[in-house]
Amino acid sequence: MSVLSDNYKKIISEMEEKITNPEELDFVKQKISELSMLFMETIDNLNNATEKKIKEIEERQKQIELKVSKVEDSVNDIESDIYTEEEGYDFEIVCPYCNYEFQAEINGKNEIVCPECNNMIELDWNEEEEDCCSGGCLGCHGCGSEEDEDNNNNEDDM
């Protein structure tokens, strides 16, 4: 601001040297002063408007950061639910030998022992599914394979 003040004083001193009539000098000084005040007022208004916009942007940024933080927390919760390596996955298993239903943590195993009959149960990770389930087989209570249907039909005939 000192550069502006120094330049202002320089301009006034140059005017005083060139304008010899005291009334004209006072008039010019007054108009220069009014012009300077208008200029400073305009700068202050622009500065205030800029500060107001910056505060609005900062407030919106805080709101966005809060929303992003909530989304990150939700995603982290979902990831921990889906991808937790420390926890195993509990599966419901029906023993094909004794029809005992139990839950077990598999963790990539191919076999598991039935806690009821102690028979080894081979886990089938083949993801092919039956087209239809009617509850006829002993293993899943919902498989409708042809063999099961034939057994049910034979029982009806007896």
Report how far residue 36's alpha carbon sits from residue 93's, in angstroms, rounded to the nearest whole number.
88
Report how far residue 32's alpha carbon sits from residue 37's, in angstroms, rounded to the nearest whole number.
9
Structure tokens at 55: 């505060």
Q: Is the dihedral of CA 126, 131, 136, 142 positive or negative?
A: positive
Nearest alpha carbon to residue 14 among 2, 3, 28: 28
Q: What is the mean pLDDT of each run of 10 residues along the chain (158 residues)?
A: 85 91 93 92 96 97 97 89 62 89 80 92 67 52 51 51
pLDDT of residue 5: 85
pLDDT of residue 123: 79
pLDDT of residue 125: 63
Report how far residue 12's alpha carbon sits from residue 28's, in angstroms, rounded to the nearest whole number.
9
Nearest alpha carbon to residue 91 among 117, 109, 116, 118: 109
Nearest alpha carbon to residue 112 among 103, 99, 121: 121
pLDDT of residue 158: 46
Residues 6+ apart with CB under 8 A from 29: 12, 15
CB 16 within 8 A of CB 25: yes
Domain positions in the chain are 87-127, 133-158
pLDDT of residue 62: 97
Cβ neighbourhood burial of 118 (10 Å; 0-12, 13-18, 19+)? exposed
Q: What is the pTM of this model?
A: 0.40
pLDDT of residue 112: 87
pLDDT of residue 66: 96
pLDDT of residue 100: 93
